[in-house]
């Protein structure tokens, strides 16, 4: 089941974020996002197992974060969440989705390609890494609404 995230989900969301994101958001960033962005949670057996955060502007959205708790990764929950997110955005009149992914994150790139997203550009040195900066691969999906 996908549903809007609530402030009461904060600790569960932060725990998933810390286990899936090398630069996890802090509590203030999450509170700001819950107040300002479209934030969805995926529940399984009454437990929050994943989330997606989008910034929507008119008929476009940017996917800021999407994650599934590590023990349940690779079991199609990410696809369930992503498809539900696309449906929610389309219902709200969003026609185009953008996102960035680390150049080294080949599994995420394969995931987005399986979901018909198109590589649309590169941002040089976008992400920090221990030894400097890493490029971001930009992906786009059009025709949602």
Q: Which H/E stretch holds residue 141?
A: strand 132-142
**Distances in whole angstroms, Cα of residue 95 to Cα of each of 59, 60, 98:** 5, 6, 10
Q: Which H/E stretch holds residue 138?
A: strand 132-142
126 is catalytic: no
100 is catalytic: yes
Q: Which of 43, 35, 10 is nearest to 25 (CA)?
A: 10
Catalytic residue (choose from 27, 62, 88, 100): 100
Catalytic residue (choose from 112, 127, 139, 142): 112
C-beta atoms surrounding 54 within 10 Å: 24
Instruction: Count CA atoms within 13 Å of residue 37 on its CB side.
Output: 20
* Local structure of 69: helix, strand or coil: coil
Instruction: Count CA atoms within 13 Å of residue 132 on its CB side.
Output: 5
The catalytic residues are 100, 112
């Amino acid at each position: 089941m996908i549903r809007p995230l609530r402030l009461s989900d904060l600790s569960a969301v932060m725990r998933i974020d810390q286990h899936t994101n090398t630069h996890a958001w802090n509590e203030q960033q999450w509170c700001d996002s819950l107040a300002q962005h479209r934030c969805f949670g995926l529940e399984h057996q009454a437990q929050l197992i994943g989330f997606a955060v989008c910034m929507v502007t008119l008929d476009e959205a940017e996917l800021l974060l999407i994650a599934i708790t590590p023990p349940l990764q690779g079991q199609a929950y990410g696809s369930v969440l992503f498809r539900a997110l696309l449906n929610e955005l389309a219902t709200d009149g969003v026609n185009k989705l953008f996102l960035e992914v680390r150049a080294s994150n080949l599994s995420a790139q394969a995931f987005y390609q399986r979901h018909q997203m198109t590589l649309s550009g590169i941002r040089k040195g976008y992400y920090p890494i221990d030894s400097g900066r890493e490029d971001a691969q930009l992906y786009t999906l059009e025709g949602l609404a």
